[in-house]
Amino acid sequence: MKLVRKDLEKDNAGQVTLIPEEPEDMWHTYNLLQVGDSLRASTIRKVQTESATGSVGSNRIRTTLHLCACQLRVKGTNIQENEYVKMGAYHTIELEPNRQFTLAKKQWDSVVLERIEQACDPAWSADVAAVVMQEGLAHVCLVTPSMTLTRAKVEVNIPRKRKGNCSQHDRALERFYEQVVQAIQRHINFEVVKCVLVASPGFVREQFCDYMFQQAVKTDNKLLLENRSKFLQVHSSSGHKYALKEALCDPAVTSRLSDTKAAGEVRALDDFYKMLQHEPDRAFYGLKHVEKANEAMAIDTLLISDELFRHQDVATRARYVKLVDSVRENMGTVRIFSSLHVSGEQLGQLTGVAAILRFPVAELSDQEDESSSEED
């Protein structure tokens, strides 16, 4: 998704102009549109004309319509008259990749703004990272479905080993490894990335990973230690960027990367079910129960379906947004599930909102015995 223009007022009213570029951008667009929004985009319309002699003809012309959305499909009444379409006329606009549109809202909430940020920043769609390296050269990359982005290039001159004296070589190699570790921490968002490929010829990748995790233990680097399982070592012919292609074609890598985009959500849902089975006082679902757990600042991980943010009632939609903002303010993790993925469908069967708690809150279950399927 390309962000062309963003004009928001202090009260968060305003408009953004976007260009969808990938098929997935159309899913983001669908989630951005809500009843009551206004949308401006070009479209094709059949216009009838009458000549001076009274004969009637018709032509297909391209014009720009400004609609007030009244359904989640982009149908609505025209709110800006032009020479082809009258004010108040009912029309449909079909949005498609590479066609610009402008969306205006009376209130841009945090969830919607975050979706735009993620859709427009390639790093958010890159759930695979790669470090392609050889002695003295490394490229830290992010891999999206459509491109590979080089985030850092590390070059250090490594002296050759000399008979009886390897100290210069070892010191330079350690300095090289340390710079690569810093680049990984600076450029890889482990909240998004599900797998980090470390590719090299020879034993460079093994030596680097041994160094990185030894240093992580010494310095108590929780970021690297908690994400150790995400690192996957593979062979490449060199440390140049083009060698990444051969690493990605490795069958072991292909199977590991299958469906990485939703892997984090699948794991979170699995953790919730395990908690529900073994420690039910730490696993809540249903809006009212989850809200009460949030009031106790007990939520460690919030699981919520993106379908809930398309609710037609503004007050209900705002309630979900408030819950997300509050959990984040209390240092909790928020995972927004796609309702089109199987994990999102499963979450939908649990009312679309669930939470894994930091500590048991047994009294909430006693306060409300009714099913958590109530949301309104």
| Shared domain check, 186 and 151 | yes
Domain boundary among 259, 276, 298: 259
Does one domain contain both 197 and 247? yes
Tokens representing 106 are 């009376």
Residues 248 and 273 in one domain: no
Q: Which of 153-157, 259-263, 313-317, 330-334 bottoms out in mean pLDDT, i.e. has the lowest? A: 259-263
| Domain boundary, last residue among 209, 231, 259 | 259
The pLDDT, as a whole number, for residue 332 is 94
- Token digits for 174? 């350690």
Check whether residue 276 and residue 240 sit in a common domain.
no
Query: What is the structure's pLDDT at 178?
Result: 97
Domain count, the chain: 3
Query: Which of 7-16, 290-299, 308-317 is the most confident on average?
Result: 290-299
Domain edge (last residue) among 259, 278, 306: 259
Residue 97 token pair: 């990749």
- Residue 79 maps to a domain: yes
Least confident span in 127-131, 206-210, 278-282, 303-307: 127-131
Same domain, yes or no: 33 and 93: yes
Domain co-membership, 358 together with 307: yes
Residue 52 forms part of a structural domain: no
Report the share of the chain in percent with pLDDT over 70.
79
- Which SS3 state, helix, strand or coil, does residue 234 take? strand
Q: How confident is the model at residue 326 (pLDDT cuts 50, 70, 90)?
A: very high
118 exposed, middle or buried (CB, 10 Å; 0-12, 13-18, 19+)? Answer: middle
**Element (DSSP H or E) covering residue 359:** none
Question: Stretch 284-304: mean pLDDT, rounded?
Answer: 95
In a domain, 266, yes or no: yes
Nearest to 141 by CA among 250, 240, 215, 262: 240
Residue 28 pLDDT: 75
- Asked if the structure places residue 23 within a domain, the reply is yes
DSSP H helical segments within 121-166, as ranges? 122-125
Q: Please check whether residues 150 and 229 belong to one and the same domain.
A: yes
Residue 280 domain-assigned (yes or no):
yes
Domain co-membership, 140 together with 101: no
Give the per-residue pLDDT at 34.
Answer: 74
pLDDT of 331 > 90? The answer is yes
118 and 146 co-located in one domain: no
Range of the domain at 93: 2-44+64-124
Same-domain pairing of 325 and 270: yes
Whose CA is closest to 305, among 375, 353, 357? Answer: 353
Q: Are residues 303 and 316 in the same domain?
A: yes
pLDDT at 210 over 50: yes
Residue 51 counted as domain residue: no
pLDDT (tens digit per residue) in 103-136: 888 878 888 888 787 777 665 666 789 999 999 9
Does residue 94 belong to any structural domain of this protein? yes
Residue 272 and residue 190 share a domain: no
Mean per-residue pLDDT, 290-296: 95
Instruction: State how far the Cα of 136 lies from the Cα of 347, in Å rounded to an integer.
Output: 47
* Confidence grade of residue 369 (pLDDT, cut at 50, 70, 90): very low
Residue 160, domain CATH: 3.30.420.60
| Listed residue (272, 247, 243, 269) closest to 257, CA to CA | 247
Bridge partners for 77 per DSSP: 68, 90
CATH number at residue 87: 2.30.30.870
Given a contact cutoff of 8 angstroms between Cβ atoms, the answer to whether 67 and 74 are in contact is yes
- Asked if pLDDT for residue 102 goes beyond 50, the answer is yes
CATH of the domain at 327: 3.30.1330.30
Q: Sorting pLDDT into bands at 50, 70 and 90, what band is 74?
A: low
Residue at 156: amino acid letter: V
The answer to whether the beta carbons of residues 8 and 30 sit under 8 Å apart is: no
User: Does the residue 58 lie in any domain?
Assistant: no
